[in-house]
Structure 1
């Protein structure tokens, strides 16, 4: 097999890449729309110019964020409010063209010192003024370009300074006509395409115009240190424990001499008590890239993906010290040591990923963006990535219609062990892969988007430098379902990436033949709609499937957050059309929030026709759990025989959409998350609904021996029947068939349905895998569930740490199964859910005479008391306070 070795390092730089001294300009900004300002940039940026009447501005942020925070527009994520906000395609670009002004204090620098003004992202173009002078001598254009300006000579002697920035929207904003990316012309710029609307979001009215990312002041000596680069080499096949053979570290950095004289000094970093350095001489006004000597790291602490080992991160600082001993500049670095390879698997006809020599079965989720209005924060990133870790996933793909994710996102992935597949800014929808009557221009024209290919390559170059050092970044991808045009693709693939990175697999597009081939000789993705669970086991899809997904409606508490009370009406299944497709009657607000009703209701009906919207949402959770557990189990059952990886479309929504999400926009998880978590266990016992085969999936690197598999059936009254109890073992990174229970399960389920418990125990009788199925009757209905008696649980709480609670649930032996219980951490005063909160299991079922412990983690707030609510299918909601 052909082996492509991608020798990697990983490093998480601090989020801003702060130098010796830096601070953000992130408060007390003022703004006005262009149409209300008659003065020039030189006039506005003079400290004597009055800002009377100017409005508070949100920076970092977009124009729409500022308008929302100033209560000038309603929340576009609620109800039909987005339709009440003027769209830029109708208003014209000037409506969302804004001036932003910031007063700040910074003293005029002493001799030999430099002060830099840094922008980490504007959309789409701007002009910058400081103290009556224009800062950018050349155009600053493109959403994905960072810029640093030396403002040393422009600062006022009294230390009082004013920055003024006029931000212009994209040159072509696109018609949001209901197509994927609207009429497609949004792709003529180098910016996200989703802002013109997609099938999971409505148009963002300002197209994300604004100073959307961080602005900061940085102070250095004569030499500025930029874009450090770290590569690590980890040869051989490693294990997660024990003594390690050495790894090799290679580090470099760019040095810019902003002074008028030659500067000599030393570039260095210290690791494990050893200093690695190189002497440097930099001519006046020039930049150079310096390669430091390779360093052999003894017994390295390796970085592993989620579930396989620890996410070890080393910390150091790279610095440039002038020959006179003065520290000119430095950057803190946090990096993980690992190496990635890819191999072509001839059995599956797809590529497989290896980390540190060990192959990893990819279980991933597709990610759009954290917030459609670009309201990013480290806390939100941490929560969302934690949820992906809790799903037992090991990869996140960043979809090509969005952006190169921020360093804060990658920091969270580094810490949580989520590999990242990062797309560049292309999509088959906008960039011409298909004919589309909703697109303004033909395929040949769209194939050459964006208008400025040089800007695309310049932006790609800068974004590669921004995130290339992160441990989590694993794969570069040319675009979503389409390659970039050749004059972008070829230099990106053959020169830019090899020069700036050269350590990662580059795949030309997300469902490329270079990624996988199905048995017909091509590649693709899907299906996207809800499926009978057995199809995931029986029907072979693409062997490295980059997009396969289903449904994701949240529960009643989630729906209430963005659907007005009068519109909380359950969708109603009305039959099938002439083509045999399911037809539903759906409220217009649900439709606007992209409810994916194709077949959803028909999967809910076997549980009984919903009484109301709350009943609909509760029953939807049963469908959600079963759907995503079945999806990941079906792929895992064919690990290395049919598949080398799967990436779910999709795991989150940056808007209040009702489709494709494991948690809602407000960070409230639904049953999709916990079904996926259960089915994605590293060591997992599972039941094939097609042939009744019980199987064990072992994703780990070690053989698992002395396991006991226990299969137990329960009827609707709670009576148990042992179906199998057997010792077994399973090889590393493998799936093993144990035995079929089809005949027994079907017989026990025929009349009313039944429950099936599969448990794996170790030699100490510790439960390693606990999987609980509910089975339909012979007609495909869950008739017995509606006849179950109530079960009253005994519930107790215990504070483990200031941010951690243990919930103990016990179901007395005289009860039936306490089925499908949601545990929620709530505010003791309001009884509203605490978001985000992280549960080590949820939507759980307890057979008679059993208990379960659930650990909840959260961020405690001063003065707030907490409690827990528990409610289930046959368990009335009960609140328990934390004493």
Structure 2
């Protein structure tokens, strides 16, 4: 191979609160006030006896806008046109959103102890005061630069302490003029760019000014462990589940001596019963990086991406001890694995391998969990779990947003989702294209941000924060553009090798280094509705970083943010080939379904539109992933969908809505991305199998059935097949059989792979149009005769069984939901092992769902299908 570039990758870790509770978060009971209402200085305000007259409760972590929303000073910007009612910082001036935040807390240190204040994220600049003293020597700036202060000498010996922080908005707030990133000047800051507006979000009015991430207190002895780094080396080609040759564990850490005399002690860690130590002395008021001896870990349990093997994690406990007493402890989670990136000369794109095994990338583009930075462990867990349920194995963190938080990576570690992390830049704001919406020309925008040193300092800090997670697989310079050369060169050639040195760095998201089209060059897309055959026939970019389509939810989802007067379905005109769309839908960035609803019959209202849109959603994303998988290792090494989630109530590119309610896109991907999958090519009417595992699959019975609208089943063929690992194989062409059956009113095509126990390992149902391309049979389909029962499996787990009698029509496209019986509203989030399911005549299907059980709430199950009116089912005890 030419241009071979193999980069091994590391591991793992998540900082957790020490077992002896030496680290805790300052979260509740913050207060705030606009800085314009305070004439006193920070030294005065931070005095514990200063009276906080007129101050109001504040949300920390949070932003000025989240605080104003909590205090009912602004309407919910996610509802209707409410965002237009909130004053924008471009028009009010920065002072309007400049705020003081104050927190009183009790803490004191004992003999030999040191206390540390950590601020993990402030946007954009701040001064920090404690008990009448300023902690920072100069104004702190940068959204992505953590702050740590030794506060041992500032803590009071008795009574409460007061922390006061004045937070200033970004230096350049940008004009939200409708461009991507508004007028682009938001990118002059080292911060996120979407807050000035994008094609999937309206502007965030305060630009997310505030203490947006965690504030914590840590107590240690004289020696503090900082930035531990764990790298795992896993040579050779490994097989999941087998006995493994040893892996090498390489560990370093920074040790800071906060005291005035040298400190001698032992740095050690334990992992899987192994103890590794080093004795050393740290000089006063200094920080040293310490390398511990390498550990050869015998028969390691390896970490694998979703669909390929388990996500085993080890606990690593690191301590610095002095004469048997612990000065500091850090607990990490270690995932043992190695990642390589090499050039595939057939596809002309990068190919990712994990533990020596090539992995076909099935990914999604992630923006951010919440547009207003309201993060939580529970929401991160839910969103990443949804991606696991889609059978995806990678998330790309888009460059117009954040370096994600450690809790996000912890969820990715848990669910086996690799991560491609962009740094902070975009072709839209940073000058790739001529754009009349931008304030500056391309030459000027190519120099953004204003402070290149701050960018590099922030990048180094964020690398240290997240480099240990096994899920982190790829660093990316920026979205659709390189960073300025004097940023990219030291980042690529100096900072990353020194602080990580294990991951592939791609210079930008659609770089030639990532993917090179046979026609020359790279790119991304297409976007929007595509004919299903196009996903199979059209050869796009061989490692496509962005390709996507629609994502409107059903009426339950739409009613959560559309006022009643705006619940109007888009109306398509065949003459103009355009849709007439309500203004609130447009404000929420609706992307057109064009004429794709029409073959199911013109939508009569919003509810009908949402119901038919789910059929389109499912088909689009199933076909997208099937088309790419069909050309695995021939045309493609990976695909990343634009995009899989929305941090705002947007009407495009989402597999679930902001409120964590899945739509049929999620389950179309769930089907099309199965590790072992049988599929139908609508372009050439062939049936194929894709095996996206490392195992050779033997003795699979392929069963192909055709079903008409009345439920009559015709077996087209059944044959034993086998397929090798990481392979796609065409099995049979069924053009003649289905052409005649589908001609009049369409038909259903059932494809199944059965194991030797006659259990389905892949079950795929297609609905095919009539000769005119319409789904005329679906429009006159007989009512379903299916019945449903639900029973409790265990606390928070329910099994729903759909039973369809023999000689009945197919029970088609049934949406299962968990509902509050008093409000009839869906309980969210709920995780389903499948949904939008269909049941053939004479068969049954069971769907397992999981949710967080609430005391005093006895939910019921809703079942509603294409040919089944909604039924509410009581859940029976097991």
Tell me which interval the TM-score lies in, with the shorter structure as reference length: over 0.9
Give the equivalent residue in structure 2 for 1:59: 60
Asked if 1 retains the 8 angstrom alpha-carbon contact of 2:123 and 2:143, the reply is yes
Instruction: State the alpha-carbon separation in 1 of the partners of residues 170 and 535 from structure 2.
Output: 42
Indicate yes or no: 2:203 matched with 1:206.
Answer: no
Which residue of the other structure, out of 704, 722, 725, is the alignment partner of 1:729?
722
Does residue 812 (structure 1) correspond to residue 813 (structure 2)? The answer is no
1:863 is matched with 856
Match of 1:703 in 2: 696
TM, length-normalised to structure 1: 0.98
- 1:591 aligned onto 2:590: no
Give the whole-Å Cα distance in 2 for the aligned partners of 1:310 and 1:703: 18
TM-score between both structures, scaled by the size of structure 2: 0.99
1:690 aligns with 2:689: no
1:798, 1:102 → 2: CA distance?
48
Q: Name the SS of the counterpart of 1:481 in structure 2.
A: coil
Is residue 718 of structure 2 the alignment partner of residue 717 of structure 1?
Answer: no
Counterpart in 1 of 2:154? Answer: 154
- Give, in angstroms, the shift of residue 52 of structure 1: 2.1
Name whichever of 800-809 and 387-396 sits farther off. Answer: 800-809
Residues 424-448 of structure 1 deviation map (CA, whole Å, 9 limit, x = unaligned): 0010000000010000000010001
Question: Per-residue CA shift, 1:599-629, capped at 9, x if unaligned?
Answer: x140000000111110011000000000000
Mapped contact 1:146–1:462 kept (Cα < 8 A): yes
State the alpha-carbon separation in 2 of the partners of residues 755 and 14 from structure 1. Answer: 51
Whether the 8 Å contact between 1:804 and 1:856 is mirrored in structure 2 is: yes
Structure-2 separation of matches of 1:621 and 1:15? 41
Aligned mates of 2:493, 2:386 — CA distance in 1: 36
Q: Which residue of 1 aligns with 2:543?
A: 544
For the 8 Å contact 1:713–1:756, the answer to whether it is kept is yes
Q: Aligned pair in 2 of structure 1 residues 592, 15: CA closer, same or farther (>3 Å)?
A: farther
Out of 663, 669, 677, which is 2:662 matched to?
Answer: 669
Whether the aligned pair in 2 keeps the contact of 1:829 and 1:865 (CA below 8 Å) is: no
Partner of 2:37: 36
Residue by residue over 1:436-473, the C-alpha shift from the partner in whole angstroms, topping out at 9 and shown as x without a partner, is 00000000100010000000000000000000000100
Give 1:137 shift.
Answer: 1.3
1:98 Cα offset (Å): 0.1
Within-5 A mapping of 1:721-760: 721-760=714-753
After superposition, the Cα gap between the structure-2 partners of 1:17 and 1:307, relative to the gap in structure 1 and judged at 3 Å, is farther
Output the CA distance in 2 between the equivalents of 1:615 and 1:339: 49
Matched, 1:11 2:6: no
Which stretch of structure 1 is more off in the superposition, 152-161 or 348-357?
Answer: 152-161
Cα distance, 1:17 vs structure 2: 8.4
Pairing partner for 2:626 from 633, 644, 650 = 633
Deviates more, 1:263-272 or 1:187-196: 263-272
Shift of 1:826: 1.3
Instruction: Go from structure 1 to structure 2 and tell me whether the alpha carbon gap of 1:15 and 1:613 turns closer, same or farther (over 3 Å shift).
Output: farther
Query: Which residues in structure 2 correspond to 1:160-179 (within 5 Å)?
Result: 160-179=160-179
Measured after TM superposition, the shift of residue 23 of structure 1 is 0.9
d(CA) in 2 for partners of 1:317 and 1:241?
A: 26
Give the SS at the match of 1:498: helix
Q: Is the 8 A contact 1:20 1:220 kept in 2?
A: no
Specify the alignment match of 1:294 in structure 2.
294
Q: Deviations over 1:76-97 (max 9, x none)?
A: 0000000000000000000000
Q: Mapping of 1:382-781 within 5 angstroms?
A: 382-577=381-576, 582-597=577-592, 600-781=593-774
Contact residue 175 and residue 185 of structure 2 kept, 8 A: yes
Structure 2 gaps, min length 5: none
Deviation, structure 1 residue 290: 0.1
Cα offset, 1:19, TM superposition: 8.8
Q: Distance in 2 between matches of 1:457 and 1:610?
A: 53
Q: Which runs of 5+ in 1 are unaligned?
A: none
SS of match in other structure, 2:24: strand
Corresponding residue for 1:275?
275
C-alpha displacement at 1:825, in angstroms?
Answer: 1.1
Report Cα offsets for 1:135-178 as digits up to 9, x if no partner: 11132110001111011111112131111100000000000000
Alignment of 1:816-855 (within 5 A): 816-855=809-848
Per-residue CA deviation, residues 770-820 of structure 1 (Å, 9 max, x unaligned), is 000000000000001111110121211121110211111101113111111
Structure-2 separation of matches of 1:281 and 1:12: 26
> Who is 1:250 aligned against?
250
Alignment match, 2:265: 265
**Structure 1 residue 39 displacement after superposition:** 0.9
Kindly state the Cα deviation for residue 518 of structure 1 after the two structures are TM-superposed: 0.5
Give the 3-state SS of the residue equivalent to 2:596 in structure 1. helix
Residue 745 of structure 2 contacts residue 770 of structure 2 at CA under 8 Å; is this kept in 1?
A: yes
Give how far 1:297 is off.
Answer: 0.2
Q: Is the 8 A contact 1:572 1:584 kept in 2?
A: yes
Shift of 1:766: 1.0
Does the 8 Å CA contact 1:825/1:837 hold for their aligned counterparts? Answer: yes
Report what 2:303 is aligned to: 303
Q: Partners in 2 of 1:850 and 1:304 — Cα distance?
A: 36
Residue 866 of structure 2 aligns with which residue? 873
The question of 1:71 aligning with 2:60 is answered: no
Q: Could you tell me whether the CA contact under 8 Å between 2:557 and 2:657 is conserved in 1? A: yes
Deviations 1:502-528 (A, max 9, x none): 111110000000001001120000001
SS of corresponding position for 1:10: coil
Q: Any idea what the Cα deviations from partners look like across 1:827-860, whole Å, max 9, x if unmatched?
A: 2332221100011111011111111010001111
Taking the aligned partners of 1:576 and 1:546, their CA distance within structure 2 comes to 35
Q: Residue 869 of structure 2: SS of its match in structure 1?
A: coil
State the SS of the aligned residue for 2:33.
strand
Give 1:358 shift: 0.4
SS in 2 for 1:458: helix
Partner Cα separation in structure 1 for residue 7 and residue 795 of structure 2: 42
| Aligned counterparts of 2:288 and 2:271: Cα–Cα separation in 1 | 24
Query: How far off is 1:645 after superposition?
Result: 0.1
In the alignment, is the contact (CA less than 8 A) between 1:104 and 1:161 conserved in 2?
A: yes
Question: CA–CA distance in 2 between the matches of 1:745 and 1:274?
Answer: 62
Residue 492 to residue 289, structure 1, CA distance change in 2 (3 Å): same
- Higher mean C-alpha displacement, 297-306 vs 262-271: 262-271
CA distance in 2, matches of 1:321, 1:246: 29
Give the SS at the match of 1:386. Answer: helix
For 1:567 and 1:723, the matched residues in 2 are separated by 47
Displacement of 1:576 in angstroms is: 4.8
8 Å CA contact 2:365–2:546 kept in 1: the answer is: yes
**Using the alignment, how far apart are the partners of 1:549 and 1:242 within structure 2?**
38
State whether residues 15 and 411 of structure 1, in contact with CA within 8 Å, keep that contact through their aligned partners in structure 2: no
**Counterpart-to-counterpart distance in 2, 1:19 and 1:653:** 38
Asked whether the equivalents of residues 19 and 218 of structure 1 are also in contact (C-alpha less than 8 Å), the reply is no
Distance 1:235 1:812 in 2: 55
Aligned counterpart, 2:138: 138
Offset at 1:7? 2.2
Separation of aligned partners in 1, 2:118 and 2:679: 53
CA drift of 1:872 comes to 0.7
Structure 2: how far apart are the matches of 1:272 and 1:751? 65
Once the 2 structures are TM-superposed, how far is the Cα of residue 15 of structure 1 from its aligned partner? 5.2
CA–CA distance in 1 between the matches of 2:700 and 2:399?
43
Query: In the alignment, is the contact (CA less than 8 A) between 1:15 and 1:407 conserved in 2?
Result: no
Q: 1:5 deviation in Å? A: 2.7
Q: Partner of 2:338 in structure 1?
A: 339
Classify 1:16/1:62 alpha carbon distance in 2 versus 1 (closer, same or farther; 3 Å): farther
**Offset of 1:389 from its aligned partner?**
0.2
Give 1:343 shift: 1.6
Tell whether 2:43 aligns with 1:50: no
1:351-373 superposed Cα distances (whole Å, 9 cap, x missing partner): 11000000000000000000000
Is 1:19–1:220's contact at 8 Å kept on the other side of the alignment? no
